[in-house]
Amino acid sequence: MLLTLLGFGMVITFMTLIMTKRLSPLVALILVPIIFALLGGFGAGIDKMMLDGIRKIAPTGVMLMFAILYFGVMIDAGLFDPIVGRILRAVKGDPLKIVVGTTVLALVISLDGDGSTTYMIVVASMLPLYRRLKMNALSMTCLAMLASGVMNLTPWGGPTARAASALHVDAGDIFVPLVPVMGVAIVSILVLAFFLGLRERRRLGVLSLPGGASLHAGYDEDGPKTLPEIEVDQDLRRPRLLWVNAGLTLALMVSLMVGVLPLPVLFMIAFAIALVINYPDLAEQRRRVTQHAGNVLSVVSLIFAAGIFTGILSGTGMVEAMSRSLLAVIPDAMGPYLAGITALVSLPFTFFMSNDAFYFGVLPILSEAAQGYGISAVEMARASLVGQPVHLLSPLVPSTYLLVGLAGVDFGDHQRYALKWATMVCLVMLAAALAFGLFPLVGQLS
């Protein structure tokens, strides 16, 4: 009983401190479990628990570190520049093409797993067209957010990395079977983009821009006066190496899918090759690493801190005690449905709490309970990712404020406009996951 109270108290305290912004996730992940372990009398073995937890998530931390560095080098070298240029030339004055082009651009840029980068590039590239043609910018923010929510399910994206760390499973085992589901979700987003674009075309018609007109960002009087520009250092661009970089990225993705080597090793090798090819000068190599060190530190430090949280939660036996209590509350008739229940509750749970609170606080409890019905941890991890498109509408997500701020739209308007579409995409993902057998609709008592 004491372990159950300590476990739930630790999780509730952790979530409360994060949601009320009394502590940062990094600090809370480290201090809260240590305090509760000491209160429970586990001071003698706390060092081993923390180290065990850190060891288990070390591969995930290494993968994230080199994935961020790799995609940072690719963006610096201009791998995505031709895609942006072609989309802008192709859409011209057709609202339908503009909306679909926005979605395609967001899907491609979201491959780096960083929502902030996606929003900056998409808004800076497409907002001038929306403003010039008097299109509804809410369709742009909605589709950019949905694209980011789906593409963030890559192993180097935050949700999958958190689920893998919290349940101590391999991120590749979660991600690879998810690829068909992501494909179905991408198709649904493109269909939605076509529908929204068609609605805009019917409202505005196909417009032609004045020849040679400069499409600089012009805001209304009630919005920001200037659009923040993305600083582009042309000296860093490597247009002659475009196809080399594209081939390297394609080879990396194929190797990841096939499982040629462990994910951390693949990204380490790819980053080293990309850095040498694009920036052979040693001084420039150091500058590229330094440039992206801030992003690396903020993500990887969080992952290693999570190792302390999950290590203590497991090492003290709190997870087992909490799971037994949860199993006692859940009717036997509902237990076999825990994977589907987790997928559904991930929508409201990740909306009202941060990803850290859900994946490190709630998911381990649900997963431990589900194992009693023959549902594996990796299946529960996949189920927990279904709600990510809705999660990005949460007021707890900083990048969403960046998105609406850059687009000059009201946060509440964005939520009301996008919520039904985000829910639709989540339900499509759930149906596809069940169809592809990523987790069982009904488990069996083991």
Q: In whole angstroms, what is the distance from residue 127 CA to residue 407 CA?
A: 7
The pLDDT value given to residue 88? 65
The pTM (predicted TM-score) of the whole model is 0.69
- Decide if pLDDT at 217 tops 50: no
Classify residue 170 by its DSSP letter.
-
Cβ atoms of residues 401 and 116 within 8 Å: no
Average the pLDDT over 126-137 and give the result: 83
Query: Measured between alpha carbons, how far apart are the two ends of the chain, in Å?
Result: 24
Average the pLDDT over 18-29 and give the result: 81
The pLDDT value given to residue 420? 95
Half-sphere exposure of 385 (CA within 13 A, CB side): 36
Mean pLDDT score across all residues of the chain: 83
Q: In whole angstroms, what is the distance from residue 24 CA to residue 28 CA?
A: 6
Cβ atoms of residues 300 and 33 within 8 Å: no
Which pLDDT band, with edges at 50, 70 and 90, does 207 fall under? low
Average the pLDDT over 99-128 and give the result: 81
Residue 396 vs residue 33, higher pLDDT: 33
pLDDT > 90: what percent of the chain?
Answer: 33
Residue ranges of E strands in 79-213: none
Which pLDDT band, with edges at 50, 70 and 90, does 229 fall under? very low
Instruction: Tabulate helix, strand, coil % of the chain (nearest 5).
Output: 75, 0, 25
Which pLDDT band, with edges at 50, 70 and 90, does 396 fall under? low
The pLDDT value given to residue 221? 41
What residues contact 431, with CB distance under 8 A and at least 6 apart? none
Average the pLDDT over 205-215 and give the result: 52
Of 80-94, 320-334, 391-405, highest mean pLDDT: 391-405
Q: In whole angstroms, what is the distance from residue 425 CA to residue 389 CA?
A: 7
Residue 357 vs residue 317, higher pLDDT: 317
CA quadruple 210, 211, 214, 217: dihedral sign:
positive
The pLDDT value given to residue 220? 42
